[in-house]
Amino acid sequence: MLHPRAAHAVVATDDAVYALAGTGEHGAPVLAVERFDAERWSVDAELPGPGVNAPAAVVLDGRVHLIGGFDTTTNIPRDQVDIYDPRTRTWTSGTPLPAPRGGHAAVVLAGRIHVLGGGNSQSTLADHDVYEPATGTWSARAPLPRAEGSPAAVVHAGKLFVIGGRSGPEDFGAVDVFDPATNAWTAGPTIEPRGTAGAVVHCGAIHLLGGESQARKQVLGHVLRLDPAAGWQPVAPLPTARNFARAVVFRGAVHVVGGSLAPQTSHAPAGSAVVERLACRE
């Protein structure tokens, strides 16, 4: 990338990968919105406002929704939803979150945005809120089984998987599976505890990438694949271990974009510009 970043958000459209927000090489907010077209990175726009760390982002109806996060380099949570239209390169305001939060996960399932976990300035959250674009409203769904920040989340086979996460100095190894038909969570195969990992569906299976073990004070380069019969299986690790391992699938390959190369305890982690690509070999 042109700008190192961590505690950021990354999304992919049909045409490009977008990196937004976070903190840079020296822990300062990054305002540039970068676009990768499969050949090069360029600056596409700037964020509205003074910057944000640990937001979440999704693409819905061709527009990037940048959701919540903490103001600049603080732990002061936001409820803003800022919507970026890549076609016009303009921002509009979306319906705010029901309550401020940062360090959460967000995914799109059946045309609705699900926002999960995170924290505010007082505590970690188990909140699970869903945005319905037809009405422009948020509503609550079954909360996570535990309060947790920095989980990974992915949609696979019509269900929502929330993987790992942390609260204070404690990391979690739980994998929780949400069925929208029943509005209920069930337990999936566990992992070694970690937070700030990335998750994607690649080669027909869930892959978990990178993250951080607070107990070991270690940034992780692990890549794990969820096998329906055998559980989580290791595959070739990331060339560069990193936390805030933001991962997306773009043109058939996983792109792990940015992240921090050292264990972090602040809301202003030093970012990197590293981008690594994993193609499907199956």
Which pairs count as long-range contacts for 238-242, CB under 8 Å and 24+ apart, including other chains? 238/209, 238/210, 238/276, 239/276, 240/272, 240/274, 240/276, 241/210, 242/6, 242/210, 242/272, 242/274
pLDDT in tens, 139-166: 999 999 999 999 999 999 999 999 999 9
Q: pLDDT tens across 216-239, in order?
A: 999 999 999 999 889 999 999 999
Of the candidates 11, 12, 19, the one whose C-alpha atom is nearest the C-alpha of residue 45 is 19
Report residues of the chain scoring pLDDT below 70.
Answer: 281-282
Domain ranges of the chain: 9-279
- In degrees rounded to 5, what are phi and psi of residue 180? -65, -20
- pTM of the predicted model over 0.95: yes
Residue 281 is predicted with a pLDDT of: 65
How confident is the model at residue 266, as a pLDDT? 79
Q: Which CATH architecture has domain 9-279?
A: 6 Propeller (2.120)
How many residues are present in the chain?
282
pLDDT at 228: 87
Q: Find the angle CA(73)-CA(44)-CA(50) to the nearest 5 degrees.
A: 25
